[in-house]
Chains A and B, each alone.
Chain A
């Protein structure tokens, strides 16, 4: 795979988002709403919030990302852009990689904006190694995005595609969600060692990124 191709796709996606800001705005507002709703639903104390904050952040990001990923490929359907992309000599894997990196960047921006709000709302202070979060969150986000972009492309040409994406993405994503939530709470509470969960997340990322790159060509050209 030539690096130039996926950089081109990446540039195009970043450009589109820079002009419209659709995905980032909708994700940001959606995730903020989920955070507010959860804090109303649970009314957590400081100790309790340390335990559940990791889970709430992950689930909020997950719902927000799913709503945006549905649009990630839908914008390629307009004017038959997707068909045009299929006819180009560029390998499918580079299209996939470009799209995944672009969406990873959008979700990361949302997380960076949201994190301070989150810390304030839930009164958080990490007891364990806070800097490890800078490793756990991107790993978990990549796990979500790489699968999400893949399955969004898979479900784009089916009936009920908006419904189908969460139905097939969430079960596949559960092991990574588990790892991310467990790692976050063990860092925030400082009670257990998150190393095992971080390794598991990394292994999950490697496995599913490889699988996605290998099989994307097949679903892109499925007729």
Chain B
């Protein structure tokens, strides 16, 4: 790993440790839910990181579609970033679903309920798993175009998820952040949110950069192998003709 990546990793771990300390020991417990309410410090940052990853995936897919016939290197980079961000986003989505389920068990007494917010989020997870499956099943360079189109379709579901607990009365609580006037969190609890939000975002970016570097090299190697195979054909034929 490069030096800056080590430094970034150390900074990330430091922020995560501080976030853990603040979330568990510094901020007061939730007035209604007691200690169980602290899971929000992990639940909300996962969704924020997931949102960032899926947005990256969308932007990269659009960039890929726009430049794929003009700038091959940029297109390959965009595609590598798109697949890496989808993978990391799926992981964050899974973490969000699992922490939400644990929280639901503690507060509602059930692991899962089929309300609009939960259902649409699960659907979001399924869509991006389907995106990754499509990348497995389709072969060759056309797969990247097809996957980019699929990513745009998938992202249209994100606003539906976001609006779900504004439009429909759901079991999931109304939005705490950026919701109606009067929503929001007590100021004494905000430090835990900020530290964990920063920490998990940094951790997500770290994973993304690692995965992106691996994916880009992989695609580069594939391309070079393809070119080498093309060159081998005519060159060896010419060699035979000269002999």
Chain A interface (Cβ < 8 Å from any Cβ of B): 147, 150, 154-155, 157-160, 163-164, 167-168, 170-172, 174-175, 178, 196, 200, 207-208, 211, 215, 218-219, 222-223
The answer to whether B123 and A158 have CB atoms under 8 Å apart is no
A-B contact pairs, 16 of them (CB 8 A): A157-B138, A158-B137, A160-B137, A164-B133, A164-B134, A164-B138, A167-B133, A172-B154, A172-B157, A174-B119, A174-B123, A178-B119, A219-B149, A222-B145, A222-B146, A223-B145
Given A154-B146, A207-B156, A215-B149, A196 contacting B130 (CB threshold 8 A) = no
The answer to whether B149 and A218 have CB atoms under 8 Å apart is yes
Chain B interface (Cβ < 8 Å from any Cβ of A): 65, 116, 119-120, 123, 126-127, 129-131, 133-134, 137-139, 141-143, 145-146, 149-150, 152-154, 156-157, 160, 167-168
Classify the secondary structure of B's interface with A: helix
Closest chain B residue, CB of each to CB of A207: B156
CA–CA, A181 to B120, complex, Å? 15
Residues of chain A lying within 8 A (CB to CB) of residue B160: 175
9 extra interface residue pairs, beta carbon distance < 8 Å, beyond A172-B154, A207-B156: A147-B153, A163-B137, A168-B130, A168-B134, A168-B150, A175-B160, A208-B153, A215-B149, A222-B145
**In the complex, the 3 A-B pairs of residues with the closest C-beta atoms, listed nearest first:** A171-B126, A222-B145, A158-B138
Classify the secondary structure of A's interface with B: helix
The answer to whether A171 and B134 have CB atoms under 8 Å apart is no
Residues of chain B lying within 8 A (CB to CB) of residue A154: 134, 146, 149-150
CA–CA, A42 to B215, complex, Å? 49
**Shortest beta-carbon distance, A111 to chain B, in Å?**
25
Closest chain A residue, CB of each to CB of B154: A172
The answer to whether B145 and A218 have CB atoms under 8 Å apart is yes
Closest chain A residue, CB of each to CB of B156: A207
Residues of chain B lying within 8 A (CB to CB) of residue A215: 149, 152-153
Residues of chain B lying within 8 A (CB to CB) of residue A174: 119-120, 123, 126
